[in-house]
Structure 1
Amino acid sequence: MGAPAQPVESAEQLEAARAEHDVLAVGFFRDPDSVSAIIYLRVADAVHDYPFFLVADPELFKQYEVEDDAVVVFKQFDEGRADFPAADYVADDLMNFLRLETFPLVSELNIDNVWRVTEEANFIKTHFLVFRNASDPRTPSDIEGLVLPVAQKHKGSVLFLLVDMADRRMFHMEEFFGVQRDRTPAMRIFRYEGPTFKFRPQHDGTISTEQVLQFCDDFLTGKLKAFQLQQPLPEDWDAAPVKVLTAQNYADVTLDPTHHVFVMLHAPWCPHCQLVGPIFDQLAELYLPHSDVITLARMDATANEVEGLEFQSFPTFFLYAVDGQRHQFNGSRTLEDFVEFLNEYTTVNLDFGSADGETHADKTCGESEADGGDICTADVGGGGDTGAAAEDGSAGDKADADAEDASAGDTRGSDEAGAPLQSQTKDEL
């Protein structure tokens, strides 16, 4: 493995590196063995996102107008250069400087750079997103230029991101932020320090520097109210064995003290939800004779957001019991395991060994084994970020091959540690 910072012998060498890389860091240290230089090299050894160089030649100090020891970030965006005085500092100071200065003030959010956006989100908790369709001739050509003055004003406190709606890999972002393709450009603000909150202006479809500035200032001064997605409630929402929930009726149905309510939170695009959907329908048929005490329901959690409802993946199953406790189902998604879970946590004890139960089990065995317990990541309700939302969009399309196997062990009604998930009551919704 090579040195963490490449020594620079000439200006031609450094200029060639600047032409090759969008961003690089150069340590100017007259004494390469000084404490300041050693700290720089340790930081360089820990960061692998861009190259590091080391200058000790006094002539290069003069040529690049560096008087004292310093770390200089050269970049092909924003102001092109940023200097960090390095005479007396600690590693964290330099790390914070590099994090701030090596990321564009206005950046395109896409699948290729989502990891870096996610990394930035650990430090900057407020994200300002501009959705636009780059292939639409009606879209202003210089949206980045319109946003840049506001990004400069709020550097280090707000992360400004552009989302191209022509990139179909990002369609989950449109869904999550409630953006309509025929009403762009559209601005959204996302804050995820603690519970996640989304904010939007009164109207979509136009953008100017003044509008960006006003929207951002209104958010920072507390003038905006967070919004949550909500579908209209169908008139026949309770006609089928599996009831339809939206944000409008979720609390009313799940908080009913006379019914156990078993809910499936799903995403229409999630292949695992599509596999388990027919099994859940058959489960509802099994419990129809007990509809006076138990209700099965599903909600499209990509189009409906309920305050206080947090979950990490699709599909997610919650049982709201009549004793006020909420239990999460984490077993394999077979008819038999669903019944065993409901037998344990409800007052209904269904005999799955009956003839009717055996018929349903035979119908679903192959499908449930194929489903296996895979999930599509969601990270909904809290602790997420825009990078994760974009990443989830890609994960949904490829069925999230890295998801954990929820069918292992005897985890029905338990968290990963095996403890019953009873910490959240109906009152906490």
Structure 2
Amino acid sequence: QDLRGEAAQAFYELAGDLVDVAFGAAEAPELFEAYGLAADTVCVFKKFDEERADFPLDPARGLDAAELSRFIRVHSLELLMEFTSETSDRIFDAKIPHHMLLFLNKTEAAQLELQGPFREAAAAFRGKVLFVLVDVSGYGAGVLPFFGLTPADAPTLRFVKMETNRKYQMEEDAFSASAVSAFVQAVLDGKVKPNLLSAEPPEDWDTKPVKVLVGKTFEQVAFDETKNVFVKFYAPWCSHCKEMAAAWEELGERYKDHEDIVIAEMDATANEMENIAIRGYPRLYYFPAGPGRKMIEYKSNRDVETFSKFLENRGTLPEEPPVVSSVPLPQARGPPCAPGKRQPSA
């Protein structure tokens, strides 16, 4: 009701930051009456869902720009977002920490009916959990391997914690609004264990110089107290992983006869561990022998010699003295010219 006060100024500044949102300000009493308002309020008008969302201002605190920015961001998203090429950036940039996904085949009429109860469940979790529809017969098919799914698995539900990529699923899919709500709340309350992906171990996984680990075998190998285990976590499509593949194979050959050293690798896109989240590829971790379940990340050069120094030094790299090079003195050329003068020519 005061367009020149501190709250209004904070509102104007936020308008300058959120250039993709149209802002307006009004203080006319008839507008307050028309929209049923009695106090300072930011109204977000949209063309979907409830069409209007109100952000009342606390007279004692004024306008919190960060809170309002998040409120606008949350309400700029539909209650149920479909994952498409047009919406994917908005979904990932929403900064909502958890996503609840419904995978369905939009060519199947019976599966389309599941959207209603799923949307109904979403309302209570707005801002905390983003509900997303994934069409396995369209653009959404591209994310199925990340969940270990195929189109034939639809319809099915998954909950994802975005910070850790931990995935959760019902013991048996139930698609009613009450069942979905109860499951989401149980995950938020820490009452559901994550569903960890694991490929099947190859028959020859431990016969080659570089051992092939999967989710099911990781614990027994990495935390074997009699072994020092050096593991490369990779993604099959990662160019940096491909570049270092030859060096890792050579490292395996070099240490294949060492009883207490294991060189291993694991496809981190197809396998997950309960207490270790892999972000970015490749990631190299050393698990030293002995008790304590210790883990050391390797962050140096990706070549065989540096890897070997790291292993021989039991998980650290010895400090090397700085390389000091000598710079020869310039050849004598006579006294330098004084400013504004020239040396006489010979």
Say whether the fold is shared (TM-score over 0.5). yes
Partner residue of 1:91?
Answer: 64
Q: Alignment partner of 1:248: what SS?
A: helix
Q: Which amino acid aligns with 1:249?
A: T
1:17-416 correspondence runs (5 A): 29=1, 31-56=2-27, 68-86=39-57, 88=59, 89-92=62-65, 94-110=68-84, 112-121=86-95, 124-134=96-106, 136-137=107-108, 140-166=111-137, 171=142, 173-191=143-161, 197-203=166-172, 207-209=175-177, 211-219=179-187, 224-288=192-256, 290-322=257-289, 325-345=294-314
Q: TM-score, normalised by structure 1?
A: 0.63
1:80 Cα shift?
0.6
Please, which runs of 5 or more residues in structure 1 have no aligned partner?
1-28, 347-410, 415-429
Q: 1: distance between equivalents of 2:284 and 2:171?
A: 35
Tell whether the 8 Å contact from 1:260 to 1:322 is kept in structure 2 after alignment. yes
Q: 2: distance between equivalents of 1:168 and 1:94?
A: 32
Q: Alignment partner of 2:229: what SS?
A: strand
Tell whether the 8 Å contact from 1:317 to 1:328 is kept in structure 2 after alignment. yes
Q: Which amino acid aligns with 2:72?
A: L
Tell whether the 8 Å contact from 1:330 to 1:413 is kept in structure 2 after alignment. no
Alignment: residue pair count: 314
Q: 2: distance between equivalents of 1:144 and 1:306?
A: 32
Tell whether the 8 Å contact from 2:194 to 2:274 is kept in structure 1 after alignment. no
Q: 1: distance between equivalents of 2:208 and 2:303?
A: 21
Tell whether the 8 Å contact from 1:242 to 1:298 is kept in structure 2 after alignment. yes
Cα distance, 1:202–1:85 mapped onto 2, change above 3 Å:
closer
1:315 Cα shift?
1.3
Cα distance, 1:251–1:139 mapped onto 2, change above 3 Å:
same
Q: 2: distance between equivalents of 1:250 and 1:413?
A: 29
Map Cα deviations across residues 260-294 of structure 1 (whole Å, 9 max, x no partner): 22211111222322332233222212223x33232
Q: 2: distance between equivalents of 1:339 and 1:57?
A: 75
Q: TM-score, normalised by structure 2?
A: 0.76
Q: 2: distance between equivalents of 1:240 and 1:321?
A: 21
Cα distance, 1:125–1:36 mapped onto 2, change above 3 Å:
same
Root-mean-square deviation (Å): 3.3
Q: Alignment partner of 1:55: what SS?
A: coil
Q: 1: distance between equivalents of 2:250 and 2:5?
A: 72
Q: 2: distance between equivalents of 1:413 and 1:169?
A: 48
Cα distance, 1:160–1:277 mapped onto 2, change above 3 Å:
same
Map Cα deviations across residues 100-132 of structure 1 (whole Å, 9 max, x no partner): 4333211234555455434543xx433211123
Please, which runs of 5 or more residues in structure 2 have no aligned partner?
320-346
Cα distance, 1:341–1:170 mapped onto 2, change above 3 Å:
farther
Tell whether the 8 Å contact from 1:127 to 1:191 is kept in structure 2 after alignment. yes
Tell whether the 8 Å contact from 1:131 to 1:184 is kept in structure 2 after alignment. yes
Cα distance, 1:59–1:255 mapped onto 2, change above 3 Å:
closer
Which shows bigger deviation, 136-145 or 234-243? 136-145
More contact order relative to length (CA 8 Å, sep ≥ 6): 1
1:183 Cα shift?
0.9
1:236 Cα shift?
2.3
Identity of aligned residues (%): 32
Map Cα deviations across residues 227-246 of structure 1 (whole Å, 9 max, x no partner): 21122223322111211111
1:75 Cα shift?
0.3
Q: Which amino acid aligns with 1:187?
A: L
Choose 1 or 2 for highest CA Rg. Answer: 2
1:191 Cα shift?
3.1
Cα distance, 1:294–1:84 mapped onto 2, change above 3 Å:
closer
Cα distance, 1:44–1:143 mapped onto 2, change above 3 Å:
farther
Q: Which amino acid aligns with 2:265?
A: R
Map Cα deviations across residues 166-218 of structure 1 (whole Å, 9 max, x no partner): 455873x423333232111221112357x6642102345x7444543453355
Tell whether the 8 Å contact from 2:83 to 2:139 is kept in structure 1 after alignment. no
Tell whether the 8 Å contact from 2:229 to 2:287 is kept in structure 1 after alignment. yes
1:253 Cα shift?
1.4
Q: 2: distance between equivalents of 1:315 and 1:164?
A: 30
Q: Alignment partner of 2:202: what SS?
A: coil
Q: Which amino acid aligns with 2:44?
A: V
Cα distance, 1:224–1:256 mapped onto 2, change above 3 Å:
closer
